[in-house]
């Protein structure tokens, strides 16, 4: 049967299920076939032609089950999409088929006021969930800088960390994701409840091994985070103060460092750029005086901009993580970026790379907790001079001891440590035995298929 025939048969089977909200308007098919992969000039030409053939926005878990069963019966690929803000083409349907929007499923199902544990449907926006949690004096532990639009399901299936990573590490660290509800791609699809251990294999799997219909997450007591900036004349001082802040006993939710030449191309929400390098911090109110002392010790200036205003959309959060790249590209197209964990000590490697690459590599750092230790992650801005030079730059970073997480590739593994996770592949065998979910994104599955 051709794909066209399979789609016709699928539509025939689903025609009377209004809860599936089927759409095939060409504009909608195009919109739902793209995400923020255009940050990568390597991915852009590779993904531009991929197109969904049908879009569905199920309104209930029962409708998701019917959609999954029908796609399996007719051999039609299915790619799940939240807000579509991923940077690596995570929700681009490489082989066409159905794109399933999760935004029809956005209920907060359960909140335990004693433990703070929340169970939520995948299409709930992170901003909405955070707002609801704050009513109960709780907050999300980890958020991407796209938290205003990103969905909870998209963050867990496609993201890794961000705001909060200095305190709470990364999404795949044990203790964040406590359970999942998942609908398999089988002809008798019925949702399964997964405990914390089973859920691990679907965390950061790009929706290749099961449709997530609910997530159970831990949360944190809410803090009235203050926005604090520290300006330093010298980059070495900026890095030293950043590390001193991270190693102090002060509670931080964000610790970003921007070189002066990055800062001057960003919106002026953190105050005017005066040729200084700047740290952007979210700090618990009881720690501001201590950070003032640390800054003064290095001859740096600290500014307390006051508590965050969540209504405004122009906070320090929106200058951090990949929002730095967003603003840089808006001010001057032609920049792309890399992601890496810097070696320790950080400065010699940064200096050596600067000596070689000059102003084609500008530093943007984020403090993170990596396996319990404070480490420096970098999302440097890179002037695009072609794929060969980008590869050379990544090799050079590795030669200086950095662990590179390549944002210019489409598979789960190649954007991570490069190794196949057998548990992710086994979960795909269990929940998507015909390999129909987001095809082409799990290298371990493709290699397994090639070897059998």
Ligand X SMILES: Cc1cc2nc3c(=O)[nH]c(=O)nc-3n(C[C@H](O)[C@H](O)[C@H](O)COP(=O)(O)OP(=O)(O)OC[C@H]3O[C@@H](n4cnc5c(N)ncnc54)[C@H](O)[C@@H]3O)c2cc1C
The minimum distance between CB 311 and ligand X, in angstroms, equals 20
Nearer to ligand X by C-beta: 98 or 300? 98
Nearer to ligand X by C-beta: 35 or 65? 35
Query: Which of 63, 294, 326, 361 touches ligand X by CB under 6 A?
Result: 326
The minimum distance between CB 13 and ligand X, in angstroms, equals 22
DSSP state of 49: T
Query: Which of 40, 151, 203, 411 touches ligand X by CB under 6 A?
Result: 151
Nearer to ligand X by C-beta: 168 or 206? 206
Nearest to 71 by CA among 433, 326, 440: 433
Query: Which of 56, 66, 119, 146 touches ligand X by CB under 6 A?
Result: 146
User: Is 159 a binder of ligand X (CB under 6 A)?
Assistant: yes
CB 81 within 8 Å of CB 101: yes
Q: Is the peptide bond before 345 cis (omega within 30 degrees of 0)?
A: yes
Query: Which of 79, 186, 203, 336 touches ligand X by CB under 6 A?
Result: 79
The minimum distance between CB 406 and ligand X, in angstroms, equals 15
Nearer to ligand X by C-beta: 337 or 357? 337
User: Is 258 a binder of ligand X (CB under 6 A)?
Assistant: no
User: Is 53 a binder of ligand X (CB under 6 A)?
Assistant: no
User: Is 40 a binder of ligand X (CB under 6 A)?
Assistant: no
Q: How many residues bind ligand X (CB under 6 A)?
A: 38
Query: Which of 82, 104, 169, 407 touches ligand X by CB under 6 A?
Result: 82
The minimum distance between CB 125 and ligand X, in angstroms, equals 8
User: Is 206 a binder of ligand X (CB under 6 A)?
Assistant: yes
CB 324 within 8 Å of CB 258: yes
Mind giving me the DSSP string for 85-124?
A: --SS-TT--TT-SEEEE-TT---EEEE-TTT--EEE-TTS
User: Is 36 a binder of ligand X (CB under 6 A)?
Assistant: yes
Query: Which of 111, 321, 431, 445 touches ligand X by CB under 6 A?
Result: 321
CB 358 within 8 Å of CB 369: no
3-state helix, strand, coil in the chain (%, to 5): 35, 20, 40
With H, G, I as helix, E, B as strand and everything else as coil, classify residue 17: coil
How far is 104 from 168, CA to CA, in rounded Å? 30
List beta partners, residue 212: 182
User: Is 154 a binder of ligand X (CB under 6 A)?
Assistant: yes
Query: Which of 66, 119, 253, 322 touches ligand X by CB under 6 A?
Result: 322
Query: Which of 211, 255, 353, 361 touches ligand X by CB under 6 A?
Result: 211
Q: In sequence order, what are the residues at sequence separation of 6 or more whose Cβ sits closer than 8 angstroms to the Cβ of residue 2?
A: none
Nearer to ligand X by C-beta: 308 or 396? 308
User: Is 116 a binder of ligand X (CB under 6 A)?
Assistant: no
How far is 301 from 380, CA to CA, in rounded Å? 24
User: Is 90 a binder of ligand X (CB under 6 A)?
Assistant: yes
Of 107-115, 225-233, 279-287, 315-323, the window that binds ligand X (rule: CB under 6 A) is 315-323
Nearer to ligand X by C-beta: 267 or 285? 267
**Number of helical (H) and strand (E) elements in the chain, helices listed first:** 16, 22
Nearer to ligand X by C-beta: 276 or 411? 411
User: Is 103 a binder of ligand X (CB under 6 A)?
Assistant: no
Between β-strands 98-101 and 78-81, what pairing exists: parallel, antiparallel or unpaired? Answer: parallel
How far is 285 from 245, CA to CA, in rounded Å? 14
User: Is 122 a binder of ligand X (CB under 6 A)?
Assistant: yes
- Site map for ligand X, 126-145, x if CB under 6 A? ------------------xx
A 10 A CB-CB count for 235 gives 17
3-class DSSP string for 299-348: CCEEEEEEECCCCCCCCHHHHCHHHHHHHHHHHCCCEEECCEECCCCHHH
Nearer to ligand X by C-beta: 77 or 82? 82
User: Is 155 a binder of ligand X (CB under 6 A)?
Assistant: yes
Query: Which of 104, 161, 246, 439 touches ligand X by CB under 6 A?
Result: 161
User: Is 415 a binder of ligand X (CB under 6 A)?
Assistant: no
Sign of CA dihedral 50, 54, 55, 57: negative
Residue 361 to residues 212, 321, 329: CA-CA distances in angstroms? 38, 16, 14
Query: Which of 34, 81, 408, 428 touches ligand X by CB under 6 A?
Result: 81
Nearest to 360 by CA among 345, 380, 374: 380
Residue with nearest beta carbon to ligand X: 154
Q: In sequence order, what are the residues at sequence separation of 6 or more whose Cβ sits closer than 8 angstroms to the Cβ of residue 120?
A: 106, 107, 108, 109, 129, 152, 214, 215, 217
Residues that bind ligand X (CB under 6 A): 35-36, 79-87, 90-91, 102, 122, 144-146, 150-151, 153-155, 157-162, 206-207, 211-212, 321-323, 326, 438
């Amino acid at each position: 049967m051709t794909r066209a025939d399979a789609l016709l048969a699928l539509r025939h089977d689903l025609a009377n299920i209004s809860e599936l909200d089927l759409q095939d308007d060409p504009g909608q098919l195009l919109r739902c076939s793209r995400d923020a992969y255009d940050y990568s000039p390597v991915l852009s030409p590779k993904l531009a032609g991929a197109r969904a053939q049908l879009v569905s926005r199920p309104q209930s878990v029962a409708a998701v089950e019917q959609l999954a069963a029908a796609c399996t019966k007719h051999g039609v690929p299915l790619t799940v999409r939240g807000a579509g803000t991923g940077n690596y083409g995570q929700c681009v349907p490489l082989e066409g088929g159905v794109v399933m929007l999760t935004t029809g499923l956005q209920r907060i199902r359960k909140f335990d006021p004693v433990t703070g544990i929340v169970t939520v449907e995948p299409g709930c926006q992170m901003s909405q969930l955070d707002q609801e949690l704050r009513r109960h004096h709780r907050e999300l532990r980890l958020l991407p800088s796209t938290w205003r639009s990103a969905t909870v399901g998209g963050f867990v299936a496609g993201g890794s960390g961000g705001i909060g990573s200095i305190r709470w590490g990364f999404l795949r660290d044990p203790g964040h994701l406590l359970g999942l509800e998942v609908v398999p791609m089988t002809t008798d699809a019925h949702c399964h409840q997964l405990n914390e251990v089973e859920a691990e294999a679907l965390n950061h799997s790009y929706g290749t091994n099961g449709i997530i219909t609910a997530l159970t997450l831990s949360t944190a007591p809410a803090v009235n985070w203050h926005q604090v900036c520290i300006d330093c004349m010298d980059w070495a001082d900026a890095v030293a103060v950043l590390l001193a802040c991270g190693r102090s006993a002060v509670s931080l939710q964000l610790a970003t460092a921007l070189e002066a030449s990055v800062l001057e191309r960003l919106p002026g929400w953190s105050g005017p750029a005066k040729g200084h390098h700047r740290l952007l911090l979210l700090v618990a109110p009881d720690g501001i005086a201590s950070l003032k002392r640390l800054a003064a010790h290095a001859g740096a200036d600290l500014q307390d901009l006051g508590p965050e205003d969540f209504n405004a959309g122009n906070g320090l959060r929106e200058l951090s993580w990949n929002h730095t790249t967003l603003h840089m590209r808006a001010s001057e197209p032609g920049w792309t970026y890399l992601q890496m964990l810097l070696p320790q000590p950080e400065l010699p490697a940064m200096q050596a790379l600067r000596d070689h690459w000059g102003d084609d590599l500008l530093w943007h750092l984020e403090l993170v907790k990596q396996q319990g230790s404070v480490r420096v992650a970098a999302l440097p801005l890179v002037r695009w001079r072609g794929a060969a030079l980008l590869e050379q730059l990544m090799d050079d970073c590795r030669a200086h001891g950095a662990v590179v997480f390549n944002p210019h590739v489409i598979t789960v593994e190649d954007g991570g440590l490069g190794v196949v996770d057998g548990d992710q592949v086994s979960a795909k065998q269990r929940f998507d035995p015909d390999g129909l979910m987001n095809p082409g994104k799990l290298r371990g599955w493709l290699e397994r298929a090639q070897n059998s």
